Amino acid sequence: MAKSPLSTGKFLLIFISWWAIWAFLQTSLLISFGLRPTTALTDSVVSNALVALSCGFLSNNMQYYLPKKERYWYILFISLALTGIILLACKALLVPLLSTVADGAAYVQFFSRSWPVRFDIVFLQVGCMAILSVLWYSQEEEQENRTRRNDAERLAKEAELFKLRQQLAPHFLFNSLNSISALIGSQPEQARKMIQQLSDFLRGNLKKEDQQWVPLSEELQYLELYLDIEKVRFGHRLTTEIICDEQCLGLRMPPMLLQPIVENAIKFGLYDTTEAVTIALRARLEGKYVIIEVENPFDPETSRPKKGTGFGLTSIQRRLYLLFARPDLLETRVDNNLFTTIVRIPQQV
């Protein structure tokens, strides 16, 4: 529920100051019409106190019922009714109270003649308060709706990011378990080594679940665990080359971003050949971006990277879009028999 404007210190100060200034002006105006200062001050204090209390009551109650656009005529009706009640209350209080003073008869006659003017002034004051309250509560309601929409979008985005990250681990886990199964009979030591490496890798994966950003140095350490496992799978056929500028090591990036990119490079580089392959990763800083390039050779006759990037790169592109709202942060390039994946990570400077 939206809070009342009178619960805001700044608005309450303006509200009180307005009635104090208007009471002073009304007192001066009544004195200029020939009323005694005490009579004028009493009239001004009582009438303005009633109007101020009514405006406060009206404003506070609008937080429980706010007329919709098609029912704004309620404001006119409420303002007219409340104005009539205020003037009747003023007459019931002021006429008996001030009729006994020295100029009581003159005051009663003055009050009767000033009724139309009083009605117009009170109606304007009550109407302005009603309109300001409608604007206030409408803005508060819109802000609450905007906050709820943003929270819902944020939760949906976080859920999708979590889902994308969760889908990567099983994809890699199945390949590793198949390799361990194949090594148990022929190379049990290698199988045990791979199990230990897989355990370290998955433990690091669990630690990253609650992290949205990690330093590039930590991401590279995590990538080394993955590459150690893959080197056990592919033996001498897989070599890696990682070149990273020192100024990039402390910069932030989304966690588990490099592993699916390198996995994609291994897939296109090694699955269709029996020769040794080198996967190269280079990271550098250009302006406000960390540029990461992953390069792998491929056989144009057996591999077709142009026709699809696989789940890994698709998920990376989706994650980058969810995080930065930009579709241009991931691109691929084919040069002869080299396939290059380029990722640009914006940095807040």
Please determine, for residue 187, whether its predicted confidence score (pLDDT) is greater than 50: yes
For residue 244, what are the β-bridge partners?
283
The average pLDDT across 147-169 equals: 64
The average pLDDT across 276-282 equals: 91
Q: What percent of the chain has pLDDT over 70?
A: 85
Q: Are 2 and 63 in contact (CB under 8 A)?
A: yes
CA angle 299, 301, 305 (to 5 degrees): 65
Domain spanning 187-346, CATH class: alpha beta
The average pLDDT across 104-127 equals: 87
Euclidean distance between CA atoms 310 and 301, whole angstroms: 18
Place 157 in a pLDDT band, splitting at 50, 70 and 90.
low
Domain boundaries, the chain: 5-149, 187-346
Please determine, for residue 19, whether its predicted confidence score (pLDDT) is greater than 80: yes
Q: Which long-range contacts (CB under 8 A, 24 or more apart) does 137-144 make?
A: 137/2, 137/62, 137/63, 137/66, 138/66, 140/2, 140/3, 141/2, 141/66, 144/2
Place 307 in a pLDDT band, splitting at 50, 70 and 90.
very low
- Report the chain's terminal Cα–Cα distance, integer Å: 38
Note the pTM of the prediction, 2 decimals.
0.55
Please determine, for residue 341, whether its predicted confidence score (pLDDT) is greater than 70: yes
Q: What is the pLDDT of residues 22-79, one digit of tens each?
A: 888 888 988 888 888 888 899 899 998 998 888 888 888 777 777 776 666 778 888 8
Euclidean distance between CA atoms 281 and 292, whole angstroms: 7
Question: Could you tell me which residue, 115 or 64, shows the higher pLDDT?
Answer: 115
Tokens of 257: 């971003």
Please determine, for residue 271, whether its predicted confidence score (pLDDT) is greater than 80: no
Q: What is the pLDDT of residues 234-269, one digit of tens each?
A: 888 889 999 999 888 899 888 878 888 888 888 888
Place 308 in a pLDDT band, splitting at 50, 70 and 90.
very low
Tokens of 238: 């897989």
For residue 279, what are the β-bridge partners?
240
The average pLDDT across 7-16 equals: 80
Euclidean distance between CA atoms 44 and 139, whole angstroms: 33
